[in-house]
Amino acid sequence: MAKNTPPALETALDNLETLVERMESGDLTLEESLKAFEEGVRLSRECQQALQQAEQKVRILLEQSTEAEPTPFSGGSDEQ
Residue 72 located in a structural domain = no
CA atoms within 13 A on the CB side of 40: 15
Number of structural domains the chain divides into = 1
As a whole number of angstroms, the distance between CA 35 and CA 37 comes to: 5
Residue 7, pLDDT score: 73
**pLDDT, tens digit (0-9, with 9 covering 90-100), for 5-43:** 567 889 999 999 999 999 999 999 999 999 999 999 999
CATH label of the domain that carries residue 48: 1.10.287.1040
Instruction: Tell me if 12 is assigned to some domain.
Output: yes
**pLDDT at residue 80, rounded to an integer:** 46
Note down the domain range covering 15. 8-64
Domain membership flag for residue 69: no
User: Does residue 75 fall inside a structural domain?
Assistant: no
Residue 68, C-beta contacts closer than 8 angstroms, at least 6 positions apart? none
Q: Looking at the domain assignment, is residue 24 inside a domain?
A: yes
Q: Is residue 1 part of a domain?
A: no
C-beta atoms surrounding 42 within 10 Å: 13
Dump pLDDT digits (tens) for 33-68. 999 999 999 999 999 998 999 899 988 888 876 666
